Amino acid sequence: MKIIQHSAEVLKVALVSRDPQLAKLYEEFESKEKLLLNEAFQPNSVLFKPITLHSDSDWISSHPEPTQDFAQFYHDPCRNRPSSKKSLICVQPIGAFGDSRVSTDVYMNWLKDYCEAFYYGLTVRILGPVPVSHTGCAFRVNEYTHNLQIQAGHLLNYLKKKKAKDAFCVVGVTMIDLYPKESWNFVFGQASLTEGVGIFSFARYDSDFYSANYKGKLKTTKKLPPADYSVFDGYYTPEITSLLLLRSCKTLTHEIGHIFGLHHCQWLQCVMQGSNHLEESDRRPLDLCPICLRKLQSALGFKITERYKAGPPGLCWPTLHCPSCPPTPSTAHPSPLQHFTNTGFLGRCRGGWRMRQVEQNLNSVMEQV
């Protein structure tokens, strides 16, 4: 196990910058917002902790890449910027989602509400679900896991054609496993940042995916007829549980963050950390570290305190439950964070502790100012 411990000075420069113009912009934050952001470089902060690598297979160990501080993000000429004419995040469901207990519409509305609170100020539009056959993509049976997979690159081409003029980005989501090319085993997702499109699969977020009894395994591993999409009729998709929903929220916001130009975070524990496997993905918190939060704020222009209190009225997170947690009653709360916290789901599952601490810190900050 290895802890990536940056000095307070390094973290402060990454957040505030030595650039006088950017430092001046930082001073324009409200005092209560700066109090939260400054937690990035406070010794022994209870809100934002250093990244811990558990094995050599973790992302940072196996995928060395340069860090990205706020100044590098701000001055990047290639990053995508939303505008008044391009302010929509479009989500395209592909294939079926879950069993009969939860419809695709219900699941997508959960993702929509969470994503709108995360990318505060933008509107998320859920497009009508399409079957795999409408995309014209290639597909195969994975020779190791024996499950169906669809070709990610072909789906990106399909999404490019679907992208509306007022869309900042369009992202496809599916419960069917993905592969980028024949020589690869699988991929969680793939995106074209220049085109503003991405495709992401939640198939491997099913707790049973790697078990011997996974229901998505096919009896044959033979090459399938290229144009016969009937193999997807009635194909197994996992039950939508709170755990799968939590993992989906993390993945969707992480990948859309890349379309905004945020690189993998290597500063502090953050939803923008890279993940190489499911266990590492589960360790990621739900929200952004202060450095990545400032990046997103500069792109969208929201007030940080308003973002943390955001959420549509009546948003009701799951009556479903994590397999390791007892069921919790379904009651309406004014924000996704409050519902996750008040139902106790995040209190028992990884990822919720820091979000709860952030909200408590914001409340105490507001009382001081």
> 238: closest CA among 98, 60, 31?
98
* 85 CB-near residues (< 8 Å, 6+ apart): 165, 166
Amino acid identity, residue 27? E
Q: How far apart are CA 321 and CA 136, in angstroms?
A: 35
> 205: closest CA among 274, 251, 159?
251
Q: Could you tell me the two tokens for 86?
A: 């391009």
Q: How far apart are CA 205 and CA 248, in angstroms?
A: 8
Scanning 126-213, the segments in alpha helix (DSSP H) are 152-162
Q: How far apart are CA 149 and CA 94, in angstroms?
A: 13
Residue with tokens 């400054």: 38
Q: How far apart are CA 113 and CA 354, in angstroms?
A: 20
The catalytically annotated residue of 39, 116, 255, 280 is: 255
Residue 167 · residue 89 · CB < 8 Å:
yes
255 is known as an active-site residue: yes
Handedness of CA 116, 119, 125, 131 (dihedral sign): negative
Residues identified as active-site: 255
